[in-house]
Structure 1
Amino acid sequence: MPSSRRRLSAPLTTIVVLAGVGGLCWWGAQEASAWIEQRSREDVTLALSTAGQDWVTVTTDGLQVRLQGTAPNEVERFRAMTQASSAVDASRIIDEMTVAATEALTPPEFKIELLRDDDGISLIGLVPASTDRADMVRILRNETAAPKITDLLESADYPLPDGWEAATEFGIRAAQMATRAKISVGPGWVKVSAITDSRAEKGRLETGLKQAKPDSVELETDISAPRPVIAPFTMRFTIDADGAHLDACAADNADGQARIVDAATKAGIEGKLGCTLGLGSPSPNWAEAVVQSIGAVADLGLGTVTLSDADIALTVPAEIPEDRFTEVTGRLEQRLPPVFSLHANRERPDDAPQGPAAFIASVSEDDVLSMQGRIADARMGEAVDSFSRSRFTAVNSTLSSQGDVPEGWTLRVIAGLEALDALNSGTVEVTPDLVTLTGTSGDPHAPEQTAARLGARLGAGARYDLSIRYDRRLDLALDLPDGEECVQRLNIIMSESEIGFEPSKSTIAGDPEATLARMSDAMVDCNEFQIEAGGHTDSQGSQGFNADLSRARAQTLVAAMQDAGIDTSNMTARGYGESQPIASNDSEEGREENRRIEFRLMSPYPVRNEPLAAPTALSGVTTDKPARDSGNSKLAPDTGDTGDSVEFEGPQLPTITTTSAASGMVPATVGVSEEFQTMDEREENTRLPVQTPDATTPRPSPRPEDELQAEEEDQNGTE
């Protein structure tokens, strides 16, 4: 019996032990499951709460995490799933969330911004979920040479707004056309803000956008271009019986433009005023000079002021009292910034007694001469006109023939014109007592040489007042190239260079060091000109891609020039793509010729990097002390009692005697320079005929010495 109990107790003990172990395992599993559920619920709840997704209810069932609740929109539902996935494995999440009815919600503002620069194109914004973003990226990649296309768009599940598709297609087209731009696209509208390389490119882009725009899309553009070079820098302001007028206006910056417009408005101009922003100002203080000049005319109440670079001409009618004219012009001269020079003139009343004889002439940069004033008679007027036409490209004359001029008047007039001819631009005023000359020259010694020339022409005792500004760009001794020569140099270097680019890329292939060194030498005296580096390709590839590739290659070359130490501040890059072939694209040789970079001059006028130099003033009385030397002329100041006079050293000058047309005048002896005589001999075969009012056939123009001899004979005959 005992043995039987022992046999039964062993299995029972085993069963009890196994049951205990099983119970413990079950209890442990339950505890582990509860801990996992609690931990998962806490982690997901914390992630959603941190993201502001408090509308989501989180429940757990073992390893499963259920998300429930009503999302405000599809975007928020998607974001809730994303946040929950950051806390637990996404495979454990069960989405039981709902989205609020679409018709009960306000649709979001769909908008795309395409940002394009040299680094590529970025797409930013919110688009409807049905928008084919991949197709947008594909079109931009295939139709442009942008190095990178970045898609940063988000989408929302809403119906397409009216006008969205047409606006999107046009926006992509605009991104292909504008290489540096921000294109904003919304339902039914597109706004393009872009920067172009030139005013011509600005016009082409604006025209292209208008032509490509669908009728259903509204277009707004804000396109800027580099400022033009204005030469000369000009402003003209007038107050007359009809009121105030701003006939011409240039400004060098926006602040100066605002100051000029404000001054003109205060002076009496009504309505919207225009003042062109440009390059080429003669001084950083241009706006100050303009404002002060306008203010002077406003103070006088009548008159005209004209600024041409640093020269200011103020003319007022005779009705302005003399003392008032003197007061205002004196104050203006004191307030003008350095460099600017003032020439003020008060007209003579029509009924006033005849004043002293006066002759005024001015020559522009394009060599056009304008003359006004008195001359002895019609015959002497023809002589002066003939002389002028032999020296200047065109002549506008309003000379009046009057007999009451002093002795030697024609000679004084010709002396003034001869001195004016030595300047690039300027004005000469001749009176019986003084010769006044102002202007610009490329000769640093022009003031001294002009004084010597006047002394050689007029003899001793002639008073002069000179104010001549030196411009190194006009100095023939420096042999500075003009804009066309600069561009020609660069194009020759490019045609002989080994610079190339990797296929379908803007990366320079090979070593450009030798070519860049030659360009550096060529650009030493050319950095003041606006020059365009234009890239060209063959016809392989799409038009948009080729346009971008050619522009990128031109930009790469300009950047390489800058890295080599070349001043490229006035150089721009533009891509022409395949639009301007110089050979056939049907052969490899022709395509290779079409793949090129050409330089083009944007403006013949240099951009002034430094203000104009102040004019050199020289006043005094001429002397007549010719000396024999080796034939070269030297100018030296005289320290005698005549003041700031100038000696003329050179060959002995012959003299002639002239007398005034009026009886009783004492003859005067004046010097006639050898240069003047040889000039006449040199130009004898190229004289222009002079037409008299009743002439039917041209007659030979008199030589200047013949003119003077004729005047002498007439005067002697009169006596």
Structure 2
Amino acid sequence: MHGLFRWSSKWWPGTILLVVFWAIAAWTSTAPMESDLAARSTSALKDTVLDKTRIEVSGRDVSFAADAFSEDGRRSAVAAVEATAGVRLVNDETRLVPEAKPFVWSAERDVARVTLAGSAPLPASKAGLLDAARAALGGVEVVDQMQLSRGAPPRFDNAAALLIDQIGKLKDGKIAISDGKVSLSGMARDLGGREAIAAALKNLPDGFSVAANDIKAPPYIFQAYKDPVAVTLTLTGYVPDNNVHAAIAAAAGRKFFSEKVVDNLKASIGAPAGFAGAVVPALGALSRLSTGTLVVTDREIKLSGDSLYDAAVPQIRAGLARDFPQGWHVAADISVKPAAAPVDPTVCQQLFSELLAKGQIRFVSGRATLDPDSAGLLDRLIETALRCPTAEIEIAGHTDADGDDAFNRALSEKRAQAVADYLVKAGLPANRFTATGYGSSQPVASNDTDEGKAQNRRIDFMVK
């Protein structure tokens, strides 16, 4: 008995050691096998489209979890794992990605960022939309709040990519898809942006349509600033096209006889109806101010500045109320420039001569009707006449040599009288002015050229 016990006690430690060796051998052979099965199962899924894929292997049994985007895709993925060599049993934990009803996707822009939200049908779609947004928006931050969902309408990716291109044209706003319906709201970044977006929407894929397009255009702004110190008229903002641009620039050159016109205008679509018909008379009102600013915003006109004399204020206001297209709104904030110091008749004559050397008083061809383009020059002449209150002034009319002498003399006198009447209307005493017509008898240039004839058709101021 004691011998048997002694033999058993010697055998037992050896058995334990064998068990340990067996366990180590089993573990070292099972771990590589499980790793290999996991790798082969994963490889079997390379051609499937899944999300949140997870594979765990225990021995030869595989636990397979994933989100699939269709029932066929889910079954195909499970079958691929089951068919993997060495796999004995697949614990199927796959499920379908939730279906979105309706399928909604959106891109929203604010001052700092663009947020993509709603649903995307596939991981590749989601990644593609993010890449497209970053490419279209430069350095603007793109925030991803998209969820993967089933139920996207056919050609969703094409529609969303087209709309991503439009978000770059917005200053702020939102573009959304709900099933096949597209809605847009917000403010375009640039003039013409609203029209460009509307044109692009015509290329939406079949099955998509615009349910609402509430994109607004930014204000259509035209500005003009008259600076008496720099002696400039600066034009900024927008005009409808090159023809209107040229017409406005030409009108400015006629109305502002001494100022240098600084033209910074740009052509852009989106101008309100009647734009040129409103801007041109508004420039005429600005020309009558000593200093002033004209702002045209859509169909609203704001004029501010200082007139050259008291009587000009109601005249300018009356002209603003009369000369604009229907539907336009005009606001005038006009004060009167402080009166300049009086001067003696010699200085007065010098000031008249300087003004008339810079610009000519114009009339309707063949008539004694004053051209409205001369209003700015006439107001400057009135301001000068107010500075020499005791001087008597001859207003002399002259013509070129074309036509009958008697007719020319009569026309020149009528034109001189029209100028005198304009000055009297401003509040100057009528007895200070004498209107005389000299016809073509006192030319200052040759009548053989059009340029010379233009110089001879003139009004002179002579201080007595």
| TM-score of the pair, normalised by structure 2 | 0.35
| TM-score of the pair, normalised by structure 1 | 0.24
